[in-house]
Every structure is written in structure tokens, then in C-alpha cells.
């Protein structure tokens, strides 16, 4: 499916850096704004398709390119070399910097503004829920690095999605997150890491549909606006 959005430029108030972002306008009655946060692979065709899918449900979506300081417009495939490069970029991107870029993205959207993130972006979505202003709700998909920010507490309704077969996120890690934040819904799926991406071997269509449904229901509950499923 061809992407239907456009590229725009945003500027972080934290350091004045200008970065790219994919913008998908709502396909029907606007339900709110959505910051959609990339995996370690960058703002890829998959991320743009996810953005377009949420736009069809009525959300104005912006997917910021959060590695632009390291490599503008970075997009990787799923080969070993690309995975290593994307993982390296994620380690070289400080959370404080991510916070500034996400706040700039949030500020570019009229409210209510929601956040959804995948893989590395799942942790970044947690960060936004904890630190950023004007976030109405957040949906965090398999955020492996959430334990780095476990002492911080989301300031908005937040849900987490993990795969029971995810070798990169042991169940002990998920249990530790739940123990630290017992009031947050944590959903477990009979799937592995990256189950939401149809580009990955661990893709599980049923889990992806259910997680998306729960995400849209969260956004609906947190805005008072009817969301399409």
C-alpha cells in the first residue's frame, strides 16, 4: 500500500534541532492527534503504513524520525547488518533528547494527543507518558528498555503489550514492570517480539488486531470521542 501522507519538519525546543517526520492527515472525522513512534529501523514503509491505518480511523498522525541527528531519514531492513546499525543508533540516542523531540511532535498536534510506539518506540512511548505534556493516553508495544525508566510513572492512562514468546523480553522483566506499576494494564499475547509487524517472522495477525483494538479503545476512553475500530 502506498503511503498517503507527507514529510514535514519539526524543531525541538530543547536543542533547536530540526528533524523530519511523516504526517498522515485523518481520513474522516478527526478523533485526535497521534504520535506514532518508530522501531529501531526508523520511519520505514511499515511505520508509514501503520500511520496511514490510524489516519483512516480518524487520527492525525505524525511519526517523527528520531535518528535524524545520526543519519537523516534513516530506514533499515531486517537484515543482521541493519539490525545492528539500528540498535546502535538507539543506544546513541539519549532519552532526554527523545523527550524533546517527542514534545515537539506533540506540540504540532491539536488535542487530544495520544502516543503509540513499537519496540524501541514502545519504551519511547512510556517516556512520553511519564515526561511529556499534553499526552492523553499511551500504548506501548514490547518496550524492552522500559526497565531503564521503571522508577518513572506515567501521568496518563497507559497500556503495555508483550509477547509471551518474546526471547528478548523475559517474562521476569514483564513481571517486574507489573510489580512496580500494578495499576497499569499489561496485555500478554501468544506471540514473539515484533508481533505487530507483518515484515517480521514473529508477526501474528490475531495478536496485532487485538492489540490495535485495545489501543483504539484506550484512546476512545481517554478522549470521550468515538473511535473507529
The interaxial angle of helices 120-131 and 95-107, nearest 10 deg, is: 70
Spatial separation of the C-alpha atoms in residues 157 and 144, rounded to whole Å: 20
Counting every residue written for the chain, the total comes to 229
The number of angstroms, rounded, from the C-alpha of 55 to the middle of its chain's C-alpha atoms is 15
Spatial separation of the C-alpha atoms in residues 74 and 116, rounded to whole Å: 20
| pLDDT number for residue 96 | 97
Smallest Cα–Cα separation from 33: which of 18, 49, 13, 55? 55
| pLDDT number for residue 128 | 98
Query: For residue range 90-100, what is the model confidence (pLDDT) as tens digits?
Result: 999 999 999 99
| pLDDT number for residue 224 | 58
Q: Which domains, from first to last, does the chain contain? A: 6-222 (3.40.50.1820)
Query: For residue range 86-131, what is the model confidence (pLDDT) as tens digits?
Result: 999 999 999 999 999 999 999 999 999 999 999 999 999 999 999 9
CA angle 188, 193, 196 (to 5 degrees): 80
pLDDT at residue 4 greater than cutoff 80: no
Stronger pLDDT, 151 or 227, i.e. the higher one: 151
Entry pTM: 0.93
Q: State what percent of residues in the chain have pLDDT above 70.
A: 96
**Grid cell digits, residue 190:** 501468544
Strands of the sheet containing 6-11, edge to edge, are: 6-11, 18-24, 59-64, 32-37, 113-118, 135-141, 158-163, 186-189
Alpha helices in the chain (DSSP H): 45-56, 80-91, 95-107, 120-131, 171-180, 205-223
Spatial separation of the C-alpha atoms in residues 75 and 95, rounded to whole Å: 20
| pLDDT number for residue 226 | 42
Q: What is the mean pLDDT of residues 43-61?
A: 96
Neighbours of 165 (CB within 10 A): 15
**Mean pLDDT score of the chain:** 93
**Grid cell digits, residue 193:** 517480539
| pLDDT number for residue 3 | 56
Amino acid at each position: 500500500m502506498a503511503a498517503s501522507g507527507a514529510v514535514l519538519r519539526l524543531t525541538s525546543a530543547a536543542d533547536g534541532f530540526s528533524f523530519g517526520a511523516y504526517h498522515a492527515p485523518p481520513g474522516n472525522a478527526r478523533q485526535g492527534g497521534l504520535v506514532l513512534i518508530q522501531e529501531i529501523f526508523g520511519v520505514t514503509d511499515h511505520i508509514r503504513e501503520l500511520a496511514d491505518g490510524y489516519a483512516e480511523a480518524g487520527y492525525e498522525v505524525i511519526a517523527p524520525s528520531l535518528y535524524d541527528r545520526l543519519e537523516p531519514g534513516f530506514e533499515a531492513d531486517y537484515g543482521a547488518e541493519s539490525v545492528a546499525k539500528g540498535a546502535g543508533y538507539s543506544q546513541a540516542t539519549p532519552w532526554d533528547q527523545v523527550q524533546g523531540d517527542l514534545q515537539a511532535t506533540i506540540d504540532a498536534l491539536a488535542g487530544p494527543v495520544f502516543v503509540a510506539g513499537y519496540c524501541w518506540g514502545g519504551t519511547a512511548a512510556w517516556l512520553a507518558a511519564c515526561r511529556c505534556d499534553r499526552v492523553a493516553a499511551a500504548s506501548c508495544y514490547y518496550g524492552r528498555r522500559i526497565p531503564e525508566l521503571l522508577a518513572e510513572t506515567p501521568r496518563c492512562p497507559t497500556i503495555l503489550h508483550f509477547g509471551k514468546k518474546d526471547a528478548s523480553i523475559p517474562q521476569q522483566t514483564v513481571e517486574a514492570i507489573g510489580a512496580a506499576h500494578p495499576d497499569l494494564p499489561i496485555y500478554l499475547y501468544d506471540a514473539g517480539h515484533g508481533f505487530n509487524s507483518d515484515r517480521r517472522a514473529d508477526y501474528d495477525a490475531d495478536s496485532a488486531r487485538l492489540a490495535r483494538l485495545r489501543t483504539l479503545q484506550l484512546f476512545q476512553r481517554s478522549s470521550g470521542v468515538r473511535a473507529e475500530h
